[in-house]
Amino acid sequence: MTTELKEWPLWEIFIRSKQGLEHKHCGSLHAADARQALEMARDVYTRRQEGVSIWVLPSAAITASNPDEKGELFDPAADKIYRHPTFYEIPDEVGHM
Amino acid sequence: MSAAIDYLLHLADNALVLGQRNAEWCGHGPILEEDIALSNVSLDLIGQARMLYQLVATLKGGDATEDKLAYFRDTGEFRNYTLLELPHHGPLSGYAHSSLDYGTTIVRNFLYSALMALLWEALAKSNNTDLAAIAAKSLKEVRYHLRHSRDWLVRLGDGTDESHVRVQASLDHLMPYTQEFWAHSPAEAAAVKDGIAVDLNTLKADWDAIVDAALEEATLQRPKAGGYVPEGKNGVHSEHLGFLLAEMQSLARAHPNGVW
Amino acid sequence: MYTQSFNVPDAPGGKAVAPVPSKEDPALQAAFDTRIDADGRIEPQDWMPDAYRKTLVRQISQHAHSEIVGMLPEGNWISRAPSLKRKAILIAKVQDEGGHGLYLYSAAETLGTSRDQMLEGLHSGRAKYSSIFNYPTLTWADVGVIGWLVDGAAIMNQIPLCRCSYGPYARAMVRVCKEESFHQRQGYEALLVMMTGTAEQKAMVQDAVNRFWWKCLAMFGPPDADSPNSVQGMRWGIKRISNDDLRQKFVDATVPQAKVLGVTLPDPDLKWNEERQHYDYGQIDWNEFWETVNGNGPCNKERLATRVKAHNDGQWVRDAALAHANKQKARSIKEAA
């Protein structure tokens, strides 16, 4: 156990705005532990009925992709236009497909 | 009718006085997140007070309004528990001042919320259907207040050596005031007889269990209750309520014909 | 929510801004400039010039400090609110300001500066915050006027910031602006009701308007001619509209509102200019503005000391929560072992 007292850790907050929708990142806050982070997220981020469910995650636990690698990570998808339905021409008489 | 009014005023005054006290933290909390949390507790309590005063005003008829009841009654007419009017610090005379102490705030919120979590649940079955509806709404709110204050009680009790000592002192200071919960009051007895209220002594064992479990987790010692039994609910208060009301009512009373 | 388009430097010294060192590579700089010029967004992990980072930390933290200090003048009236409805509204409003401060501190933290570092800057007196909160709230009408005029001025400032180039700041501003319109409307409505009341109440409203009007005009910051940093801020997309343009917009929007309310604005030079299609207004006392920004206004010392006291008095509470969390963690590790 560390005896050094410092700033409370940072947490990332995800809120489900209504049943059936995904949790979306909405911001962050400081809390001593996960339970407290949940309670504080309720008080800070759902004052106007913004949510029906909350996830909290220590900010330090996030691994993010490197912006320098954006080219190799994401550009190769750009020319795969055949993945999109609009790539294909279908005669009008077929109707919606 | 009058039994209902007296009892509803007791519930309303409890909510207003504690809401007023908790709002003193707005802008001064130990951390920003906690300012926001305590403001929510205050807003719930003031909301409860408003619903109850509105119900009283309807029963009384005439020119009674929620604001007349809140702003134009004097100390002796308030029916709140003495526990709820005390300042956020240890024992001091009425005109003495000290810094806000979070331990006092948390212990008080815990002791009161533990009671109200049980009482609102019971009152949700009151034969006064208006009160039952208010109780059902307030029950959800108080369950969160109990969770918030209980979690903090455990953190402070089982936190640092300093926080343990401080919160134990708050508990020693406030616990004797809870004797009033179980003491007889004519208004309560009349309301129980009419089926509006419930006899609090039927809830005492459950309250003790909630308190004891939390204190054990918080590594705190339950002080023996004893000595003077406060009588705020009968209109006999501490020196502190006069100051609280003087401040709260000053503007409304300076402009009795004002519209806000 | 309040901001002052401050281009006001913080006092030197300390470590209020802890820049993450970035190599000033011409290629990276060029890519950054291209993105800014295309009105693109910068995200926390993207390369950014040190000066951009420093300016953002300063601007966002000043903005956050303004929210937190801004809780005090209005909080001053919570205990005395004249009706239970107004009490609840005011608590909710002051609470929102706390929330806005929190969103903004979080946005600034994505730039590599901790909230503790920013608070240290505030508490030491180095970091600035909006000048408006260094004036006292003397009557209940001040609460309404702060909502109407101060929040109104702040909204003018903040709506363009929803499109600012730094993603986390822009997103915080979107959230803030959504909540902010409640603030201005509740203030204006409270004043409207008071203006239907007694002669004393009407006088109270007019007096509050008289005391706050000029301070609100100054909130937009120094004239464009005296704001050399503004140009850089505009170039970086972290300032969208100039101080003078925002001020003019505010005056033009407010004059008709004052008329509906039935109050006068304390400026003999205030009149419609047909040629400009704007209201002309008189001279702002910039000496007073700078005195107040630099710590010598009527309430600077009280505001700052109150924040410092709350922080210091709360230390044992924060320590306890962290100590308890650490004990719990140690226990669960022990149990697992």
Q: How far apart are CA C91 and CA B247, in angstroms?
A: 16
In a domain, B225, yes or no: yes
In a domain, B260, yes or no: no
pLDDT at B60: 96
pLDDT at B199: 95
pLDDT at A58: 95
The alpha-carbon radius of gyration of chain A (Å, integer) is 21
Query: Which chains would you list as touching C if contact means 3+ CB atom pairs under 8 Å?
Result: A, B
Q: What's A11's DSSP letter? A: E
B68 touches chain A (CB under 8 A): no
C318 touches chain A (CB under 8 A): yes
Tell me how close the Cα of B176 comes to any Cα of chain A, in angstroms.
Answer: 29
SS3 content of chain A, % helix, strand, coil (to 5): 35, 20, 40
Closest by Cα among A20, A60, B36, B84 to C101: B36
Q: Which two tokens stand for residue B35?
A: 């300012």
**Do residue C310 and residue B154 have CB atoms under 8 angstroms apart?**
no
pLDDT at C335: 86
Structural domain tally of chain B? Answer: 1
> Looking at the DSSP assignment, which residues form a beta bridge with residue A53?
A16
Closest by Cα among C71, A31, A47, C175 to B43: A47
**Do residue B37 and residue A40 have CB atoms under 8 angstroms apart?**
yes
pLDDT at C106: 95
User: pLDDT: is A96 or B25 the higher one?
Assistant: B25
Tell me how close the Cα of A20 comes to any Cα of chain B, in angstroms.
Answer: 24
**Contact present, B241 and B75 (Cβ < 8 Å):** yes
pLDDT at A2: 43
User: C76-100 burial by CB neighbour count: b if 16+ within 10 A, else e?
Assistant: bbbbbbbbbebbbbbbbbbbbbbbb
Q: Which of A29, A36, A44 is opposite residue B151, by nearest beta carbon?
A: A36
pLDDT at C9: 64
**Do residue A8 and residue C318 have CB atoms under 8 angstroms apart?**
yes
C182 touches chain A (CB under 8 A): no
Predicted confidence band of residue C226 (pLDDT cuts 50, 70, 90): confident
- Looking at beta carbons, which residues of chain B come within 8 Å of C80? 247-248, 250-251
Q: How far apart are CA B87 and CA B24, in angstroms?
A: 10
- Looking at beta carbons, which residues of chain C come within 8 Å of A64? 45
**Do residue B33 and residue A43 have CB atoms under 8 angstroms apart?**
yes
Size of interface B-C (CB pairs under 8 A): 152
- Helix (H) and strand (E) counts in chain A: 2, 3
**Contact present, C127 and C104 (Cβ < 8 Å):** no
A90 touches chain C (CB under 8 A): no
- Looking at beta carbons, which residues of chain A come within 8 Å of C172? 27
Average pLDDT of chain C is 92
User: B100-120 burial by CB neighbour count: b if 16+ within 10 A, else e?
Assistant: bbbbbbbbbbbbbbbbbbbbb
Residue-wise pLDDT tens digits, C151-205:
999 999 899 999 999 999 999 999 999 888 899 999 999 999 999 999 999 999 9
A2 touches chain C (CB under 8 A): yes
Predicted confidence band of residue C8 (pLDDT cuts 50, 70, 90): low
Residues within 8 A of A (CB atoms), B 217-246 only:
none
In a domain, B101, yes or no: yes
> For C45, phi and psi rounded to 5 degrees?
-85, -5
Q: Is B228 helix (H, G, I), strand (E, B) or coil?
A: coil
In a domain, B259, yes or no: no
Identify the H or E element spanning C311: helix C300-313
Closest by Cα among B104, B123, B105 to B11: B123
**Contact present, C255 and C270 (Cβ < 8 Å):** yes
ipTM of this complex: 0.97
**Do residue C317 and residue B53 have CB atoms under 8 angstroms apart?**
no
CATH of the domain at B15: 1.20.1260.10
Q: Which of C45, C99, C318 is opposite residue A67, by nearest beta carbon?
A: C45
Which of B20, B21, B32 would you mutate first to test chain C, the one with the most C CBs within 10 A?
B32
Identify the H or E element spanning A55: strand A53-58
Work out the average pLDDT over C242-248: 95
Q: Which two tokens stand for residue C119?
A: 């608070």
Work out the average pLDDT over C236-262: 95
Q: How far apart are CA C316 and CA C311, in angstroms?
A: 10
In this predicted structure, the answer to whether residue B122 has a pLDDT above a threshold of 70 is yes
Q: Which two tokens stand for residue B90?
A: 């240890």
pLDDT at C7: 47
In this predicted structure, the answer to whether residue B183 has a pLDDT above a threshold of 80 is yes
Write out C83-95 in H/E/C secondary structure.
Answer: CHHHHHHHHHHHH
**Contact present, C266 and C213 (Cβ < 8 Å):** yes
B43 touches chain A (CB under 8 A): no
Tell me how close the Cα of C211 comes to any Cα of chain A, in angstroms.
Answer: 33
Q: How many CA atoms lie within 13 A of C39 on its CB side?
A: 4
In this predicted structure, the answer to whether residue B87 has a pLDDT above a threshold of 60 is yes
C238 touches chain B (CB under 8 A): no
In a domain, B6, yes or no: yes
pLDDT at B1: 65
In a domain, B151, yes or no: yes
Instruction: Using the structure block, give the residue that is written with the tokens 């590594």.
Output: B219
Work out the average pLDDT over B201-212: 98
pTM, whole model, 2 decimals? 0.93
**Do residue C197 and residue B258 have CB atoms under 8 angstroms apart?**
yes
In this predicted structure, the answer to whether residue B222 has a pLDDT above a threshold of 80 is yes
Residues within 8 A of B (CB atoms), C 288-307 only:
306
Size of interface A-C (CB pairs under 8 A): 54
Q: Domain limits at B88? A: 2-254
In this predicted structure, the answer to whether residue A4 has a pLDDT above a threshold of 80 is no
Q: How far apart are CA B189 and CA B183, in angstroms?
A: 10
Q: Which of C80, C309, C321 is opposite residue B247, by nearest beta carbon?
A: C80
Predicted confidence band of residue C228 (pLDDT cuts 50, 70, 90): confident
Q: Which of C75, C86, C98 is opposite residue B32, by nearest beta carbon?
A: C98
Least confident of B12-16, C27-31, C94-98, C225-229: C225-229
pLDDT at C12: 59
Residue-wise pLDDT tens digits, A31-83:
999 999 999 999 999 999 999 999 999 999 999 888 888 888 898 988 888 99
